[in-house]
């Protein structure tokens, strides 16, 4: 990491959700999702939102004993060293041919709600048999709490966080815990 980069100046703060808490939550969350699927064909289309959701999605699907297809949606809302959503922008083609299928969008964090609302609108217009969203983290702020999300791993305070797939300027995704990040190196 370049010592002049924003990520090099950032300071990690307290752990909000530990790796142990995440590991303990995944089996129960997976059961909730499998129950939502209902009876019948267990075919499921999982749509992880890249790149933040890849670790959460991998942890979750290991506990889902159903037939599934995984297709990615790549969107950006926090480019580079931004700590505030800049709006949702697809970075490629979004999954298609979802009519009559069970679709679950998996994202890392729900804060402004823009990403989930954007994807819900795009995918529900394809008339899936069932549609739901799952997030690892939901901030306890009005925008997030008022955005429809069927499955939530953890509610957290309104802090900028990294780890378990969440990044700052491309760094910190590999941290096993979810931690507060102080972008300018201060602990205030």
- Active-site annotation, residues: 111
State phi, psi for 59 to the nearest 5 degrees: -65, -40
Report whether 76 contacts 50 (CB < 8 A). no
Exposed, middle or buried: residue 68 (CB in 10 Å: 0-12, 13-18, 19+)?
A: middle
């Amino acid at each position: 990491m370049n010592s002049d980069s924003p990520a090099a100046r950032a300071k990690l703060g307290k752990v909000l959700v530990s790796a142990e808490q995440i590991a303990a939550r995944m089996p129960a969350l997976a059961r909730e999702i499998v129950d939502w699927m209902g009876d019948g064909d267990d075919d499921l289309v999982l749509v992880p939102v890249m790149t933040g959701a890849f670790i959460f999605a991998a942890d979750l699907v290991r506990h889902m004993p159903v037939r599934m297809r995984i297709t990615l949606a790549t969107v950006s809302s926090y480019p580079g060293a931004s700590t505030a959503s800049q709006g949702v922008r697809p970075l490629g083609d979004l999954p298609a041919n979802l009519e009559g299928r069970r679709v679950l969008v998996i994202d890392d964090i729900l804060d402004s709600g823009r990403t989930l609302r954007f994807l819900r609108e795009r995918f529900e217009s394809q008339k899936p048999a069932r549609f739901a969203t799952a997030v690892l983290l939901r901030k306890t702020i009005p925008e997030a709490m008022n955005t429809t999300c069927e499955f939530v791993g953890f509610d957290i305070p309104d802090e900028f966080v990294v780890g378990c797939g969440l990044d700052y300027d491309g760094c910190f995704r590999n941290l096993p815990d979810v931690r507060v990040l102080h972008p300018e190196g201060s602990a205030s």
